[in-house]
Structure 1
Amino acid sequence: MQQTYSVVISSPPEAHPLRFPPYPIAGLAGTSFKHEHFAAITEEGPHRGFFEVHAENYMGAGGPPLRMLEQIRRDNPVSLHGVCMSIGGPQPLDKAHLDRFKSLVDRYEPALVSEHLAWSTHQTTFLNDLLPLPYTPESLARVCEHIEQVQETIGRPILLENPSTYVTFRQSTMSETDFIHSIARRTGCGLLLDVNNVFVSATNHGYSALDYLSDFPLAAVGEIHLAGHAEQADDEGDLLLIDSHDGPVADAVWKLYEIVVARCGPIPTLVEWDNDIPDWPVLRAEALAAQAILDRDVSIALPDRSHAAA
């Protein structure tokens, strides 16, 4: 199987036909694909929307997960979302992981490919989290180098997702939005705007989500994420939001999403639900709610920048 991949990787794109139909994804809402939902999805038949999969779940050589993904991809557009590239990390990218990522892109021809502005590895240790980084010229140069390496390897631009954060760094010399704007300008990558992450970070750090959206390079956004979050208390008893992906999208996040769609138009939108996974009709209903917003004629303007995040 690996030999087959290497032949495909070394061939020019025009040398072989597409394995899967090139379904359009513009203006569609989708959901995370979970194997628990496979039977319900296939029984339901064709529907309007798309599915997103985490790349690392499909890097094996075969088996039921890959067969499920192949069937899903035959009938739907797919977005490939990486979670372990550690683009914000201080060490070089894992070449073997990057090669496996490229094989998935070549094999499944996803409509969108994305990764996180975060790091998750230290030397030989892999951490089960997406960790923040200081916004400095040194970090910017390293992130841009890593993104360019990924894009050169897979032969296409990626979308970079804004993080949800719980700490900030005294070393930072620029805002998150300026940092992200510089990345997009230097590398030519697109952006994945996670609206729930915006709300979570704004609440945790006490700034306005609307100000953040006003400063964000919305013209570069190629996909939007929506998700649920959990409420906790920090050591001082103050409200702390966790990007938990374990429930429905909050009302405040829906409101921010409507503002973004009014500004940007119907950008492909993905509802994430990765923990305490509900039955398929529940997740499908969240995607249908997003699709209704994408479909309607939205004329909402960004409110005054002085309003609070909530």
Structure 2
Amino acid sequence: MCSSIYENLPRVTGLSDNVLVAGTSREEHLQTMRATFQRVREHEQRYNLYECCFDMTEVSYFGHVILADGVKPDPKKIVAVEKMASPVKKLELQTILGQASISIDCIKGGYSGQSTKLTCRITGTIVIGITWLRPNGGSPQEVVVCNTANTICEPSGGVTGYSAVIDSRTQVTLTIESFNMAVDAGEWICRDGPRGVPATCTKTTLSGPDSVTLNPSPPASVAEGFSLNVMCAATGCKPLCSYAWTLGNQQISSTSQLKLTNINRSQTGNVYTCTATNSLIPKSKTKQFTLIVYSDHVMVSSPIKTKDTVFTDST
């Protein structure tokens, strides 16, 4: 996401694919968040929910920890530098003294068997070459290594299924050709050479919807003049699925709930379709609900009171 879309928004800072929204009070912070979301919608962009943090009193941001009362170095970065091996060659010393500054973006999660991408952005001089490491179940493993000039990237260590494209001198895009949850889900690393300070992001697993259920179960019989609410629920959605109810070609609800009020006999036989969608994969599943309406001859005294939903499950 281009950081320029946040221009002229007070207390909002965008750097690379990261955005920081601040506020001197909770009310001010919420107001700024609303303005930020509106700006993102206007540019038809979206955030990765699994990489967002809200209502924080401190946050790590590009090697620093930002607090209400100031800024301090990120302890994780300090530990990474402290754990670096002592240089024994001139090139290794150059890596420590002048390595490139790198950021990584997992873009979105991965779906089993499908391709997915990550990007690595470089600021400064590359001393050794961009190196990509996959999570590999908690034991990071090199998969692609690029040269110092950032003109060629090749598979590393005999690992296949990964390729890198040099978009520019400051950006490399890695493609996972077939996402495997066992080795590709988790923390990815991009760094300058084997001892460079790592930039990391978490590649989440996308899944679902696996199945869709309706409550009450279809078909349902309802007395004429009554109302009925039908809930649609999908399982296995990561991230959460969106929902839509349709009658024929017409959408009648954009939520998981179908509300039918003052039902009449002309609606009997109507088939309502609930569609659950995971837009990041993308994948959808549907479930249909058939309505049966029967006459109710029970008289209701005036004034008319709201009737409770009555249905019989004919399954």
Q: Whose RCO is larger (CA < 8 A, sep 6+)? A: 1
Normalising by structure 1, report the TM-score.
Answer: 0.25
User: Which structure has the highest helix share of the two?
Assistant: 1
Normalising by structure 2, report the TM-score.
Answer: 0.25
Larger Rg: 2
User: Which structure has the highest strand share of the two?
Assistant: 2
